[in-house]
A and B are shown apart, each in its own frame.
Chain A
Amino acid sequence: MSTTLADKSALVIGAGGLGGPALLTLASAGVGRLVLVEDDSVESSNLNRQPLFGESDLGQRKAAAAARRLARLVPTVNVEALDRRFDEASALELARSVDVLLDGSDNFATKFLASDVAVAAGKPLVHAGVLRFTVQILTILPGRTGCLRCLFEEPPPAGAVPTCAEAGVLGPLAGFAGALMGAEAVRLLSGERGTYAGRLMVYESRGAHARTVPVRVRAGCPACGSLQHQVEAASVEVEVTRPEGQA
């Protein structure tokens, strides 16, 4: 069993406003292997909240630019920069290859995929989101604490919730949230349970209001729910669903 952070690894989904500061925190703490997945390019609108990039990176691919920046800051860290989308085809294998996952993505589909794949791989996930003046963070310990589908079941319909690009994000708040994610992952990698394990923390920055909501495994959760929902004694008759068009 490895005992130091240098022997540990993390998968960071997104290298932007959340993933960037999370990667900085992980690298600075001495985590040995960082896998980042990012399929975007650097734009000028990113620079107010994405600390891995500067003016000279405009137009560059974020994965490569982030790896270069991290290598300059912390030469000992092993960064595997994957310039591609985090999708169903590769997500499970990536998750199984690391010790902890951090979701710094900016869309609900990817956030639900990250949660599902953490449950499938049995790996802890630090989830976070930031919108306008509000941050939320939650650590999912598969089988121990609730996952994203225990909270919401399905992603909201497209267009029902404004995206970061539509609603805006207070730049420094993204850095705050990403640093919280990195620190939480370091706690997990150090063998601690995690401050936000099973606790969704929501912080509204204008009023300095923070509240936490317990997140437990929900019996009917389609990902990690209990036996009543998904598994039955094998002696019970099973409902047969015929694909459409078959007699």
Chain B
Amino acid sequence: METGGAPARSGPADREPPARRVDIRDVSCPLTWARTRVALGQILAGETLEVLLLAGEALDNVPRTAEEEGHSVALREPWPDAGGRAWRVWLVKGAPRPASELLP
């Protein structure tokens, strides 16, 4: 493990920089989405979450699940500074929509 620079701060010109970042490179499904979901719960609708993840299951499923739950994907690009399998995804939080009506 080594410490390097942060991912490039550039992104879509019409998009505010991410409010938060979550790194899910060290976990596998379903913790990938569990952590992303917890992180989305900590920002406001319209704000952006930067998700650092690995190609494969996480890249295939996390953006798709986010869209299915009402969020949108603003950016999805490789992050070569962190190795060939690393990607970053920007998720823009949608309107609050509880996953379960049973949770008080």
Contacts and interface: CB of A to CB of B under 8 A. Distances in A.
Given A116-B31, A124-B103, A238-B7, A233 B20 contact: yes
A37 interface: no
Interface stretch (A57-65, A74-82, A172-180, A221-229): A221-229
Given A232-B20, A234-B19, A120 B37 contact: yes
A239 B22 contact: no
A142 B102 CA distance: 11
Contacts of A121: 30, 99
B13 interface: no
A123 interface: yes
B25 A241 contact: yes
A124 B100 contact: yes
Contact of B65 (A92, A222, A240): A92
Interface residues of A, number: 44
A95 to B, nearest CB: 8
Interface in A91-139: 91-92, 96, 99-100, 113, 116-117, 119-124
B101 A1 contact: yes
Contact of B100 (A116, A122, A223): A122
A116 B38 CA distance: 12
Contacts of B104: 141, 144, 193
B20 A231 contact: yes
B31 A120 contact: yes
A236 interface: yes
B53 interface: no
Contacts of A227: 39, 42
A96 B84 CA distance: 32
A166 interface: no
Given A92-B30, A193-B104, A122 B85 contact: no
Interface of A: 1, 88, 91-92, 96, 99-100, 113, 116-117, 119-124, 141-144, 188-189, 191, 193, 222-225, 227, 230-243, 246
29 contacts: A99-B100, A99-B101, A119-B30, A119-B34, A120-B33, A121-B30, A122-B37, A123-B102, A124-B100, A141-B103, A143-B38, A144-B104, A188-B102, A222-B35, A223-B34, A230-B38, A230-B39, A231-B21, A234-B19, A235-B17, A236-B6, A238-B7, A238-B21, A238-B23, A238-B52, A239-B1, A239-B3, A239-B23, A243-B83
